[in-house]
Amino acid sequence: MRFLMALALRMHRTLGELRETLSASELLMWAEYDRENPIGDVRSDIRNAQIVSAIYGSQGVKVRIDDALLQWSGEGEDSESGDPFAGLEEAFMSASK
């Protein structure tokens, strides 16, 4: 779901618009592209962590990029069971039919 949300934001579309206009093969191509070249905010976070690490390093303080990387709540959870909105999209879709 995070990938679809990031793609929708990047393309300035809603999830509904993506589902109506994006073919399965194109979605798979975007997913593969995301593996090589992240489309979401993760890439910017990594870049900023590199800058922070370099600035501290220039002052003689060793800071690993992992330590400078922002830790958003919920990251690292592999399952979406903690998602308070799980199933909401399906409910909306079934209600709109």
Domain count within the chain: 2
Examine residue 27 and state whether it is found in any structural domain, yes or no: yes
The Cα 33–Cα 30 span in angstroms is 5
pLDDT score recorded for residue 85: 63
Which pLDDT band, with edges at 50, 70 and 90, does 13 fall under?
Answer: very high
Examine residue 61 and state whether it is found in any structural domain, yes or no: yes
**Do 50 and 30 reside in the same domain of the chain?**
no
pLDDT score recorded for residue 36: 85
pLDDT score recorded for residue 96: 61
Determine the structural domain holding residue 45 and report its residue range. 41-70
Give the model confidence (pLDDT) of 15-74 as tens digits.
999 989 999 899 999 988 988 887 777 788 888 999 999 999 999 999 999 999 888 766
pLDDT score recorded for residue 97: 60
Examine residue 79 and state whether it is found in any structural domain, yes or no: no
**Do 45 and 24 reside in the same domain of the chain?**
no
